[in-house]
């Protein structure tokens, strides 16, 4: 009864009932009463009292046969240690709890211990281990306590936020809040509101964050939980700080809040509040106050987020005081921490999301380097803060029975959905089921850990040496304070070029892609087609003037390597007037390009190219047939032979693979971008299953070269999936490519390739056959 009263917000009544019970409790039951009192103290935020009661309860537990009581006591103390940031002690208690519960046949306690172990692993920064634990907990709760599934969603969201996947965390929380319903506030609803506020801060939705934080604070106060209410206030202050308004109030409130949090036994949250006060003081120009806050905040063993925040606050203070070198050292130290954290992640999804966790530190380094106007230093910081996932060794996705069944069902449903669309009878239920399967498969991928191995970052000197050997120029783009900049590497040295406002370039890029898509494969009235063609010409001229003209003299007659930033990855560079007929390679980073140029050619599994024609494209079979005619050693898969299994079997370790297949770019769930084959889709997810990716891939139809650029210019897309898996070069369209146009272009391309031309040179010459074909050579 006491626990029920506290859960429903009547904490005073709950503790009164415990006081009554203590007067009549039998000696052999005293340990249970102490443990219950300790748990309820946790729920209302009295952490020091809770630890005293739980320690006494565990030490006085006299019945060795009471497995439930022993396991529960350890679980509650483990939860307390976790909330206080004592991850090692928490894990020890929770592992003992799980072992006792499993041996005693207590599945619900096992599930609860796994839930808390997941939270503990989140604190330790082992996100794959945390997500594995949450999955196991969810499976247990689904059978033994379905009402607790919402709690799994809340804790899973915390782990996803630490991995930089704020949108995914918000989705988990919205579902958890839906499951919790609209009953009177419970502890779970309060936690869901607090975590939703934290996710909104990470999403940079600061008004939403303030609203959820206030709601959470009210929920906790009604329950008498001053600790969690204080954490809700901290979340609101973080949102206020990010808006840049009323910083004097943020500083004062954060300083006062830090004292409260420390007194409540929450040292990591207290340090966060102190660091927030320091950052606010720095922004206001009160540097002595900022230093004082930093000194007061020392002394804890922080989680990753707090450790990065300390480096951020210290770097900002050094910058404001004119100590640039010290600021850069702090930024480097923070990114090294992130580097170590990312190394634990195996999933491409998590690896590419991780950059969001330290984006401000990366920005400090790059901005400071730009102010120093040193091309070598700017280049170094650009490489340190972009496309880091490409430096990691690929890890194969999981292929357990459940995942394999989900992938097979997803492929089957894709065919059902396509047939329903062709019949103009959309299958809504099949689409819903597909979305659930995609989520399951994606989540399974999150469970895979990394091996911590990285390739080295390139130096400007190394890149310049290789460019000279190839008679090429590299332009690496970046954005600083909404200004577009480029480091141009030519003739053995680098130079900084300022290119003006970023928004104008982004607008022209979007309009160009829209116009190219509209022109592709459609019959338009001549007047309308002329208008769209003129618009394409205009946007190309704008982009050429903004992005190429400033370094055109340095380019001379050499090949070009482009390292794009943000939407620039979607530009069909070969269509710009100054670049027509010129070999252009687009690469995620200079480091990945250099590694690709030095990569030894693999041993091909077949004697010639693999050519695959998918269904639904009128000219696909003609395209691969024409290519095969000039390359007689080719393996050709068309019609019913072009299945997913056959394609994967032939593609593994192949030198050249060419797809003439309808593609689908899925920006909302990029791992399931796909090509249509005879029996279903070949998904970006499937590429990771290859033991050795093909060296050279051509995607000649549709817009499978499009990508989603995450924070830190982490590239996700169908073409990018091949690059991540080890493919050296991918040729693909960044806007729609009509399959009739592709026939002659691709035939010419492969002939040139067969004669020894590089991919970029072969594409540059072959593309002259079709003036507006938006194909790009990605990689090296």
Per-residue model confidence as pLDDT tens digits over 406-454: 888 988 888 888 888 878 888 889 889 998 998 888 888 888 888 888 8
Q: Is the pLDDT of residue 605 over 60?
A: no
Lowest mean pLDDT among 106-110, 172-176, 740-744: 740-744
What pLDDT is recorded for position 602?
53
Q: What is the pTM of this model?
A: 0.88
Helix (H) or strand (E) segment spanning residue 242:
helix 226-243
Q: Is the pLDDT of residue 402 over 90?
A: no
What pLDDT is recorded for position 526?
85
Do the Cβ atoms of 100 and 138 come closer than 8 Å?
no
Rounded to a whole number of angstroms, the distance between the first and last alpha carbons of the chain is 68
SS3 state of residue 371: helix
Q: Is the pLDDT of residue 45 over 90?
A: no
Q: Is the pLDDT of residue 11 over 70?
A: no
CA distance 707 to 569: 7
Q: Is the pLDDT of residue 29 over 80?
A: no
Q: What is the DSSP string of 663-675?
A: EE--TTSGGG-EE
pLDDT band (50, 70, 90) for residue 6: low
The conformation of residue 292, written as its DSSP 8-state character, comes to H
- Torsion (CA) 257, 262, 266, 269 in degrees, nearest 10: 40
Lowest mean pLDDT among 20-29, 310-319, 439-448, 479-488: 20-29
Q: Is the pLDDT of residue 183 over 90?
A: no
Q: Which residue has the higher pLDDT, 24 or 707?
A: 707
Q: Is the pLDDT of residue 33 over 70?
A: no
Do the Cβ atoms of 299 and 264 come closer than 8 Å?
no
Q: Is the pLDDT of residue 606 over 60?
A: no
Which distant-in-sequence residues (6+ apart) come within 8 Å of 112 by Cβ? Answer: 75, 137, 148
What pLDDT is recorded for position 397?
79
Which distant-in-sequence residues (6+ apart) come within 8 Å of 603 by Cβ? Answer: 653
What pLDDT is recorded for position 415?
84
Q: Which two tokens stand for residue 200?
A: 């909104």
In this structure, CATH architecture of domain 599-779: 3-Layer(aba) Sandwich (3.40)
What pLDDT is recorded for position 301?
64
CA distance 277 to 15: 36
CA 18 to chain centre: 47
What pLDDT is recorded for position 319?
94
Among the listed residues 478, 480, 547, 555, the one whose alpha carbon sits nearest the alpha carbon of residue 512: 547
Q: Which residue has the higher pLDDT, 76 or 746?
A: 746
pLDDT band (50, 70, 90) for residue 9: low
Q: Which two tokens stand for residue 548?
A: 């190429």
Which distant-in-sequence residues (6+ apart) come within 8 Å of 353 by Cβ? Answer: 163, 164, 165, 710, 711, 714
Q: What is the DSSP string of 655-712?
A: SEEEEE--EE--TTSGGG-EEEETTEEEEHHHHTT-SS--SEEEE-STTTT--EEETT
What pLDDT is recorded for position 79?
83
Q: Residues 296-319: what's their mean pLDDT?
A: 85
Which distant-in-sequence residues (6+ apart) come within 8 Å of 727 by Cβ? Answer: 693, 694, 695, 696, 697, 779
Do the Cβ atoms of 584 and 764 come closer than 8 Å?
yes
Do the Cβ atoms of 662 and 617 come closer than 8 Å?
yes
Per-residue model confidence as pLDDT tens digits over 490-535: 999 999 999 999 999 999 999 999 999 988 867 778 888 888 899 9
Q: What is the average pLDDT score of the chain? A: 89
CA distance 292 to 406: 55
- Vertex 229 angle, CA 226 and 230, to 5°: 85
How many other β-carbons are positioned within 10 Å of the β-carbon of residue 130?
A: 27
Q: Residues 72-101: what's their mean pLDDT?
A: 87
CA distance 473 to 487: 11
Among the listed residues 589, 600, 532, the one whose alpha carbon sits nearest the alpha carbon of residue 561: 589
- Proportion of the chain in helix, strand, coil states, percent, rounded to 5: 65, 10, 25
Strand partners, 490: 493
Token match 């095969």: residue? 628
What pLDDT is recorded for position 1?
61
Taking the domain 460-596, which CATH number applies? 3.30.420
């Amino acid at each position: 009864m006491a626990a029920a009263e506290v859960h429903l917000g009547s904490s005073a009544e709950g503790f009164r009932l415990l006081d009554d019970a203590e007067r009549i409790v039998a000696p052999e039951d005293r340990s249970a009463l102490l443990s219950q009192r300790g748990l309820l103290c946790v729920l209302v935020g009295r952490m020091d009292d809770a630890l005293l009661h739980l320690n006494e309860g565990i030490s006085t537990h006299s019945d060795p046969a009471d497995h439930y009581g022993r396991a529960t006591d350890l679980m509650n103390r483990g939860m307390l240690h976790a909330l206080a940031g004592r991850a090692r002690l928490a894990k020890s208690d929770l592992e003992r709890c799980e072992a006792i519960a499993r041996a005693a046949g207590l599945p619900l306690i096992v599930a609860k211990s796994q839930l808390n172990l997941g939270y503990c692993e989140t604190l330790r920064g082992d996100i794959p281990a945390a997500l594995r634990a949450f999955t196991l907990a969810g499976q247990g709760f689904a059978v033994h306590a379905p009402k607790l599934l919402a709690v799994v969603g809340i804790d899973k969201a915390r782990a996803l936020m630490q991995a930089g996947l704020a949108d995914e965390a918000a989705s988990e929380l919205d579902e958890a809040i839906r499951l919790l319903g609209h009953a009177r506030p419970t502890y779970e609803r309060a936690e869901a509101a607090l975590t939703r506020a934290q996710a909104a801060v990470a999403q940079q939705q600061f008004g939403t964050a303030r609203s959820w934080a206030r709601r959470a604070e009210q929920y906790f106060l009604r329950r008498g939980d001053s600790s969690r209410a204080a954490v809700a206030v901290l979340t609101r202050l973080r949102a206020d700080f990010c808006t840049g308004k009323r910083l004097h109030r943020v500083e004062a409130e954060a300083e006062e809040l830090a004292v409260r949090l420390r007194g409540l036994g929450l040292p990591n949250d207290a340090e966060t509040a102190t660091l927030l006060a320091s950052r606010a003081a720095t922004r206001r120009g009160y540097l002595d106050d900022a230093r004082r806050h930093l000194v007061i905040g020392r002394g804890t063993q922080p989680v990753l987020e707090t450790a990065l925040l300390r480096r951020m606050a210290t770097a900002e203070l050094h910058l404001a005081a004119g100590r640039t070198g010290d600021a850069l050292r702090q930024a480097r130290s923070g990114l090294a921490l992130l580097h170590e954290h990312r190394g634990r992640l195996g999933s491409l999804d998590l690896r590419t999301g991780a950059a969001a966790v330290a984006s401000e530190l990366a920005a400090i380094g790059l901005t400071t380097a730009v102010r120093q106007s040193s091309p070598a230093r700017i280049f170094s910081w650009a490489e340190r803060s972009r496309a880091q996932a490409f430096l990691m060794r690929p890890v194969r996705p999981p292929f357990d029975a459940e995942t394999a069944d989900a992938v097979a069902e997803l492929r089957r449903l894709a065919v059902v959905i396509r047939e329903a669309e062709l019949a103009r009878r959309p299958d809504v239920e099949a689409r819903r089921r597909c979305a659930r399967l995609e989520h399951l498969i994606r989540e399974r991928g999150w469970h895979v850990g990394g091996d911590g191995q990285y390739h080295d970052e390139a130096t400007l000197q190394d890149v310049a040496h290789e460019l000279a050997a190839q008679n090429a120029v590299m332009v690496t783009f970046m954005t600083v304070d909404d200004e577009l900049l480029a480091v141009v590497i030519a003739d053995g040295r680098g130079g900084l070029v300022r290119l003006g406002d970023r928004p104008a370039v982004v607008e022209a890029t979007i309009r160009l892609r829209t116009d190219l898509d509209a022109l592709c494969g459609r019959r338009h009235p001549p007047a309308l087609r002329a208008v769209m063609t003129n618009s394409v010409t205009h946007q190309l001229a704008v982009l050429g003037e903004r992005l190429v003209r400033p370094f055109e003299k340095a380019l001379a007659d050499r090949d070009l390597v482009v390292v794009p930033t943000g939407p620039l990855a979607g530009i069909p560079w070969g269509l710009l007037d100054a670049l027509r007929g010129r070999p252009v390679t687009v690469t995620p980073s200079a480091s990945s390009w250099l590694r690709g140029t030095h990569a030894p050619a693999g041993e091909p599994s077949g004697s010639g190219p693999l050519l695959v024609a998918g269904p639904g494209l009128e000219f696909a079979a003609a395209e691969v047939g024409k290519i095969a005619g000039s390359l007689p050693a080719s393996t050709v898969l068309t019609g019913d032979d072009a299945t997913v299994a056959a394609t994967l079997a032939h593609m593994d370790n192949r030198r050249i693979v060419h797809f003439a297949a309808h593609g689908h770019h899925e920006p909302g769930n990029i791992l399931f971008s796909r090509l249509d084959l005879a029996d279903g889709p070949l998904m970006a997810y499937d590429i990771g299953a290859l033991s050795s990716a093909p060296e050279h891939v051509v995607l000649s139809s549709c817009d499978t070269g499009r990508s989603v650029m995450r924070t830190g210019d982490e590239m996700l897309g169908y073409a990018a999936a091949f690059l991540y898996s080890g493919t050296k070069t991918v040729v693909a369209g960044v806007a729609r490519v009509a399959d009739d146009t592709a026939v002659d272009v691709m035939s010419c391309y492969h002939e040139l390739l067969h004669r020894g031309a590089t991919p970029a040179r072969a594409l540059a010459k072959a593309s002259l056959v079709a003036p507006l074909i938006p194909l790009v050579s990605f990689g090296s």
